[in-house]
A and B are shown apart, each in its own frame.
Chain A
Amino acid sequence: MKAIIRKELADHFSSTRFLIIVSLIFMISFLGAHLASQGIREALKVGGHEYLAGRVFLMIFTASGGFFPLTVFLALFGPLLGLVLGFDAINRERSQGTLSKILSQPIYRDEVILGKYLAGLITVAITLSALMILLGALGLIGAGVIPTAEEGLRLFGFWLLTMVYIGFWLGLAIVFSIIFRSVATSALASAALWIMIAFFLPVLGQAVAQVVTPAVDAQRPTYRELADRHLVNQLVAKVSPTGLYNQAAQVLLDPTNRGGSQAFQMAVSSRVNQLLLSHFRGGLSLGQSLALMTPEFLILAGFTLATFIASFLTFVRQEVRSI
C-alpha cells in the first residue's frame, strides 16, 4: 500500500488542477485573514480587551473583516479540495488501462482503495496544516496577538473537524469515480452534489422553516417565532455535512457561541446576548465547547465513514471484468 500512497501523493502535488485550487484557497484565505487581523487591531485600539480575552487569535479564523470568515469559506469551498483529489481516483486508472495492471500485482484489492483514500487525506492534512500555520503567522504579524494554549487546542480541534469534513467529500468523490466509468461524469456528479449540499440545502432549510413555523407578522417576527424557525433550520442543517461543519466550527472557534448560528444570534441578539455575555463574560471553556459540538462532529464523522465504506465496498465487490 505504501507504493500506492507514494505514487498518489506525487500525482496530487504535481497536478495542475490541485495547485490551482490550493492557490485559490490560499489567496482568498490570506485576504480574509489580513482584513480580519486589521479589524482586530482596530478593535484592540479602541478597547474591548476584556470582552475579547482568550479569543483574539481565534478571530483571525472567525471574523469576517468585511469578507468571508475562514470557517465559512472552508465550509463552502473546502469540499472542492476533496472532490479534486478523488473524482477520478479509480476511473482514470481504468480508462488509461493501469487498473488491471495494478490489480494483477500481489496486492489485495482493498489496498488500492485504502491507499488512494489515505493519500488524499494526507494531501488535505498537509495543505490544511500549511494554510493554518501561514494564517496564524499572518495573524501574529497583522494583529500582533499571541495565541493562548486553549486557542491552540481549539485550532487543533478545528483542523481535525475540517479533515473529517473534507474527508467526507473525498470519499464521496471516490465513490463517484468507481460508479461512473467516465471521468467527466464523475466530475459533474461531484460538482452537482457539492452545489446542492453547500448552497441549496441551507436555502431549502430556510424555506422549510418558514413553512413549518409561519410568522403572524412576516415583517416583524417575534423572538419565539425566530427561535422556532432557527430550530427547524438547524434540524435541516443536520442532514447536511456543510451545515454540521458550520455549526461545529462556530462553537469550537467562538467561545461565546452556544450552538446558534451567527444569523440567529444577531437576530435575537442585542439584549439576550448581552445578558448572556454578562453572565458568561469569558465564554465557554474548551470542554464545554467540545461537549456542545460533539453531536454535530459525530454525525459528520458518521457521514465521512459512510462514504469511505461505500467506496470500499463498491470497489471490492466490483467484478474485475468491468474494471
Chain B
Amino acid sequence: MSNSLAKSSDNQINTSPDFGDRVVETKGLTKKYGRETVVDRLDLVVRAGEIFGFLGPNGAGKTTTLLMLLGLSEPSGGQARVLGLDPVKSPLEVKSQVGYLPENMGFYGDLTAAENLGYVAELCHLDNFQALLADTLKLVGLGEAQDRLVSTFSRGMRQRLGLAEVLIKKPKLIFLDEPTLGLDPDGIATMLDLIERLPRQLGLTIILSSHLLHLVARVAHRVAILNRGRLLAVGSVDDLAKEVGLEPDLERIYRYYFRVDNQEGAA
C-alpha cells in the first residue's frame, strides 16, 4: 500500500455523524463468495469533491465493493461508512444520498425518457419531479429528447439518460461503473466532460470504476488500483509515480504494481 490516505489514522472507523470530508471510509472491508475472497481487507478513504478512480481488471472486486458501499451486498467482514452511515444498518438512507450507474444500465424502451426518469423519481419519493426533470435532462444534454421513446436512443444517449437517473435524486456521492463502456469516441468525450463538470457544478463526489486507464487518468484526482480483491495502491498519479520512481503515466504505474503483485503471488 503506497499512500497514507489508504490508511486511517487509527484502527477504528469514524462512526460519528460528523464524517468531515471523509465521504467514504472502509476498514478491512471483505467479501467472500463461499471460499473465494472477492474483496480482501480493503482500507480506503474517499474525500468530498473528489473524482476517485477505481481501477483494476475484470474480477478485481470493483463492482462488489461499490455494491457493498451501497448496501446492496452484505460484507463478510470489516466496516464501511458512506456519508457517515453504515450501509448495512441504514441502506435506505445511504441509497437516498448515493447515486449508482451500473455497468449495464437498463431502461424501459417502451417509455419516454421523461417517463423513465419519472419512475425513478417516484421510487425516490421526489415531490418536485417536473422542476427536476427539465434541469436534469438539460444538464446531461437530453433536454430536447425528453418525450422520445428510449428504444430510439443511441448508446451514448442511453448512458447520459442513466446519468440523469442518477442525478435526479440530487445525490451527494455517485458511483459510476464503467460509464464509457461501448461508447464511440464522441460519446466517451461527452461523458468524460460531464463527469469532470459534476463535482464543480453540483458539489458531488464521484467514484469512477473502470479498466480504461487513459480515460480515468484524464478526470480522476486520485486512483485506487485493485487486483484479485486487494488494494495495491492508492493516491494521485503524481504521488504514485514518485513512490515507484516512474513518470506520471498511469498505464506504466498500473503495470508496475501488477508486476510486483504477480511476482509476490508467485513467490
User: Which residues of A approach B to under 8 Å, CB–CB?
Assistant: 2-4, 6-7, 93, 96-108, 319-321
* A3 and B92 within 8 A (CB): no
Distance to closest chain B CB from A177 (angstroms): 16
CB nearest neighbor in B for A105: B123
The proximity string for B residues 57-100 relative to A, scoring 1 for CB distances below 8 Å and 0 otherwise, is 00000011001001011000000000000000001110110011
Which B residues lie within 8 Å of A108 (CB)? 91-92
8 Å CB contact of A106 from B92, B105, B119: B92
8 Å CB contact of A101 from B73, B92, B165: B165
Bound state CA distance, A319 and B165, in angstroms?
24
- Flag whether B124 is at the interface (Cβ < 8 A): yes
Q: Chain B, interface size: which category?
A: 20 to 34
* B106 and A104 within 8 A (CB): no
Which A residues lie within 8 Å of B109 (CB)? 96
CB nearest neighbor in B for A319: B73
Query: 3 closest A-B pairs (Cβ-Cβ)?
Result: A97-B106, A3-B122, A106-B96
* B106 and A319 within 8 A (CB): no
* A320 and B123 within 8 A (CB): no
Bound state CA distance, A320 and B105, in angstroms?
15
Which B residues lie within 8 Å of A319 (CB)? 33, 73
* B124 and A96 within 8 A (CB): no
- Flag whether B107 is at the interface (Cβ < 8 A): yes
* A97 and B123 within 8 A (CB): no
Distance to closest chain B CB from A106 (angstroms): 4
- Flag whether B108 is at the interface (Cβ < 8 A): yes
Which B residues lie within 8 Å of A321 (CB)? 33, 63-64, 67, 73
* B106 and A98 within 8 A (CB): yes
User: Which residues of B approach A to under 8 Å, CB–CB?
Assistant: 33, 63-64, 67, 70, 72-73, 91-93, 95-96, 99-100, 102, 104-109, 119-120, 122-125, 165, 169
Distance to closest chain A CB from B32 (angstroms): 11
Q: Name 26 A/B residue pairs within 8 A (Cβ), A-sorted.
A: A2-B122, A3-B119, A96-B107, A96-B108, A96-B109, A97-B102, A97-B104, A97-B106, A98-B107, A98-B108, A99-B106, A100-B72, A100-B102, A100-B106, A101-B120, A101-B165, A102-B123, A103-B72, A104-B70, A104-B100, A105-B95, A105-B123, A105-B124, A106-B96, A107-B92, A108-B92
Distance to closest chain A CB from B114 (angstroms): 14
Bound state CA distance, A68 and B165, in angstroms?
51
CB nearest neighbor in A for B96: A106
Which A residues lie within 8 Å of B165 (CB)? 101
Bound state CA distance, A96 and B111, in angstroms?
13
Which B residues lie within 8 Å of A97 (CB)? 102, 104-107
* A320 and B95 within 8 A (CB): no
* B72 and A104 within 8 A (CB): yes
Bound state CA distance, A6 and B111, in angstroms?
14
* A101 and B105 within 8 A (CB): yes
Bound state CA distance, A319 and B36, in angstroms?
14
Distance to closest chain A CB from B72 (angstroms): 4
Which B residues lie within 8 Å of A104 (CB)? 70, 72, 95, 99-100, 102
8 Å CB contact of B119 from A7, A96, A100, A103: A7
* A106 and B124 within 8 A (CB): yes
Which A residues lie within 8 Å of B107 (CB)? 96-98
* B106 and A101 within 8 A (CB): yes
Distance to closest chain B CB from A98 (angstroms): 4
Distance to closest chain B CB from A277 (angstroms): 57
Bound state CA distance, A84 and B213, in angstroms?
46
4 additional A-B pairs beyond A4-B123, A98-B106, beta carbons within 8 Å, are: A104-B102, A105-B95, A105-B120, A106-B92
Bound state CA distance, A320 and B91, in angstroms?
14
CB nearest neighbor in B for A107: B123
Which A residues lie within 8 Å of B169 (CB)? 105
Which A residues lie within 8 Å of B96 (CB)? 106
8 Å CB contact of B123 from A96, A99, A106: A106
Most buried by B among A4, A6, A7: A7
Distance to closest chain B CB from A110 (angstroms): 12
CB nearest neighbor in B for A97: B106
8 Å CB contact of A3 from B67, B99, B108, B123: B123
CB nearest neighbor in A for B95: A106
CB nearest neighbor in B for A109: B72
Distance to closest chain A CB from B167 (angstroms): 13
Which B residues lie within 8 Å of A3 (CB)? 119, 122-123
Most buried by A among B93, B95, B99, B109: B95
Bound state CA distance, A69 and B63, in angstroms?
56
Which A residues lie within 8 Å of B72 (CB)? 100, 103-104, 320
Bound state CA distance, A99 and B106, in angstroms?
8
